[in-house]
Amino acid sequence: MLQAAILGASGYVGAELLRLLAGHPAVRASRPFARSRAGEPVAAAHPQLAGDYPGAAFETFDGNLTGVDIIFAALPHGESQKLAPAILASGIPFVDLGADFRLNDAATYEQWYGDAHQEPEFLGQFTYGLPELHRKAIRASKAVAAPGCYPTATILALKPLLPFLEAGSIIVDAASGVTGAGRVPKEGTHFSTVSESFSAYGLLNHRHTAEMEMELGDGILFTPHLAPMNRGILATCYATATQAFDPLAVLHEAYAGEPFVTVSEEPPATKWTLGSNAARLTARYDQRTGRVIAIAAIDNLGKGAAGQMIQCANLMLGLDETAGLARSGVCP
């Protein structure tokens, strides 16, 4: 079995990585790092994992990676910049979920994240970890920056349609489950704030816009919403078409043979992807208004985070791309 280290193992993405690796045929999560809970049993932070990790405890990361074959990081943005130089020097394959190395240039990072990038010269060493678009490059990479959850859904829905879309006309209206807001208890994640409620947030300036524009072009207006559910992202994307066309057929062709992407006429529900690495798509061209709608559903912790990280790692390690990952959602 290959040995995996997880940096940030006490959060929600950490929990999902631990859960998925418990069922992975070739990789084991043997080093769960979590500074704030070092020494605590994994099952204290994640009681749902007690059966799979009966004796495991969190460690503090001191740079020692002896015996580690793959490194996953799920840390707040800014943290990976501090670790990247040493990790890349080690030569151990690295899959980072942070925003630090997703964008192509340091200026865009600073524009959207507010801080100057500390390691701009490393930006070029990371591949954007969306296998459906960059499979070959991921396979050849030692460092992958896994996309954010909203960009994953949005880019999968729109990228194949770009040749038919007017530049600068994209509007992305998306809804996310509450796990997307992270584990730290806040007024905004209190059950009684969220349950029976639906609201928009981050108007005009959500940071994931930068990733979307990197892959889809400038001029995107993105509005995220919080939905009263644990997991799931639905991205409903609008654009003006340059001509009448059949977007469903374009998506079908683009994703034929993809193990985790399914295109169907029926509008997808996020629940179809719960706990899995699936992405479910549909699209329409509206003759009446000349616009296109493209919709993607994923699990924000699956294809939007931990699942996609493992999919990338499978490619980097020369394993079956689907190892340890489910295609079917835990539904109903």
Binding residues among 34-53 for a copy of itself as defined by CB under 8 A:
43, 46-52
Nearer to a copy of itself, 142 or 183 (CB): 183
According to CB under 8 A, which residues from 303 to 332 bind a copy of itself?
326-332
Nearer to a copy of itself, 127 or 273 (CB): 273
Nearer to a copy of itself, 123 or 172 (CB): 172
331 catalytic, yes or no?
no
The alpha-carbon radius of gyration of the chain (Å, integer) is 19
Q: How far is the CB of 39 from a copy of itself (least distance, A)?
A: 18
The token pair at 168 is 């600068």
Span near a copy of itself by CB under 8 A; candidates 2-10, 26-34, 290-298, 312-320: 290-298
Strand, helix or coil for residue 222: strand
Are the CB atoms for 285 and 245 separated by under 8 Å? yes
According to CB under 8 A, which residues from 200 to 229 bind a copy of itself?
200-201, 203-204, 219-221, 223, 225, 227-229
Q: Considering the candidates 149, 237, 312, 331, report the single residue annotated as catalytic.
A: 149
Q: How far is the CB of 143 from a copy of itself (least distance, A)?
A: 28
Strands of 110-176 (E only): list them: 127-128, 143-145, 171-176
Question: Which residue has 């409903």 as its token pair?
Answer: 236
Length of the chain: 332
**Alpha-carbon separation of residue 152 from 4, 71, 114, 309 (angstroms):** 24, 21, 22, 12
Q: How far is the CB of 332 from a copy of itself (least distance, A)?
A: 4
According to CB under 8 A, which residues from 141 to 170 bind a copy of itself?
168
Q: Rounded to whole angstroms, how far apart are CA atoms 269 and 201? A: 21
Site track 231-270 with a copy of itself (rule: CB under 8 A), x = hit: xx-x-x-x--------------------xx-x-x-xxxxx
Q: How far is the CB of 178 from a copy of itself (least distance, A)?
A: 4
Which amino acid would we find at residue 190? H
Are the CB atoms for 238 and 184 separated by under 8 Å? no
H or E element, residue 120: none
Q: Rounded to whole angstroms, how far apart are CA atoms 178 and 110? A: 27
According to CB under 8 A, which residues from 50 to 69 bind a copy of itself?
50-52
Query: For 66, what's the count of Cα atoms within 13 Å in the CB-facing half-sphere?
Result: 2
Binding status of residue 81 toward a copy of itself by CB under 8 A:
no
Q: How far is the CB of 17 from a copy of itself (least distance, A)?
A: 12
Instruction: Among 173, 245, 254, 317, indicate the residue that binds a copy of itself (CB under 8 A).
Output: 173
Q: Rounded to whole angstroms, how far apart are CA atoms 20 and 16? A: 6
Nearer to a copy of itself, 163 or 185 (CB): 185
Question: What residues are annotated to the active site?
Answer: 149
